[in-house]
Amino acid sequence: MQPEQAEQFAALWTAAQPTIAGFIRTLVPDYLQADEVLQRVAVTLVRKYDQYDPQRPFGAWAIGVAKYEVLYYRRERATDKHLFGDDIVEQIAGRYEVLAEDVDPIREALRHCLEQLKGRSKRVIDLRYRQGFKSQAIAEEMALSSGAVRMLLCRVRETLRRCIENCVGRDDRYTASG
């Protein structure tokens, strides 16, 4: 890879990485294993970068590559119990490829919607994501039961989804469901 290509790749990878990480973590829930797959994807993308067509969105191309890495990883660990079957993996990959084509409006909306969170909603998101706490630890911090924390997290995620829906338009394929 030429230095100029390496710079282009680094810029594209940096922008697409959260989307690819989201896809992989959906299918490989263990955090360390998901990071391992993410690195494999990065290696494969570096190797295959000369095959990338710049007319296509990089994220969608990268998700296509990531899908095969995830499937290969699952086959390597055939004895592990997998939550989703291969057909669901295909469906999720297909949706992610479409999502990856234009994530900027969703990302911007999410940033705005996070700023709108107040009180307990803001607190629970801070504890979950900034501090990396699980429900039990959040429950202790907020003097709630862990069941109430799980319900609160679910509600806040739904609030964020609706807020993003309002920001980017109701006809969006991912935000209109539910």
Partner 1 sequence: MDHVQQLISGFLDGELSDAQAEQLSAALEADGASVDQLVFQSYIHAQMLEWLGHQSLRRQATPGAYKLPSRAGRPRPGIRQAKSGFRPRMAVAAAVLIVAGVISLAYYLATRPTVVGQLTQATGPRWARSEPAISVGSLLEDGQDLALEQGTALITLVSGAQLWLEGPTSLRLVSPKEVHLHDGQIAAKVPTTARGFTVTSPLARFIDLGTEFTLKLEAEKSFELHVFEGLVELRLDERFGNSAQQPVRVAEVRALTFAVESGEVAVKQFEEGKQMPF
Asked whether position 139 contacts partner 1 by CB under 8 A, the answer is no
* 64, 51 Cβ separation under 8 angstroms: no
Among 5, 86, 91, 169, interactor with partner 1 by CB under 8 A: 91
**Do residues 148 and 139 touch, judged by C-beta distance below 8 A?**
yes
Q: How many residues bind partner 1 (CB under 8 A)?
A: 67
Nearest to 146 by CA among 124, 131, 129: 124
Q: Which of 48, 56, 134, 162 binds partner 1 (CB under 8 A)?
A: 134
Closest distance of CB 70 from partner 1, Å: 13
CB 156 within 8 A of CB 117: yes
Q: Is 10 in the site for partner 1 (CB under 8 A)?
A: yes
In order of 11, 85, 94, 108, 126, the CA distances from 97 in angstroms are 19, 18, 5, 19, 29
**Closest distance between partner 1 and the C-beta of residue 154, in Å?**
4
Whether 103 and 19 have beta carbons less than 8 Å apart is answered as yes
Binding partner 1 (rule: CB under 8 A), the pick from 5, 154, 166, 169 is: 154
Out of 92, 137, 148, 167, point to the residue binding partner 1 (CB under 8 A).
92
User: Does residue 80 belong to the site contacting partner 1 (CB under 8 A)?
Assistant: no
Tell me which of 3, 32, 55, 171 binds partner 1, using CB under 8 A: 32
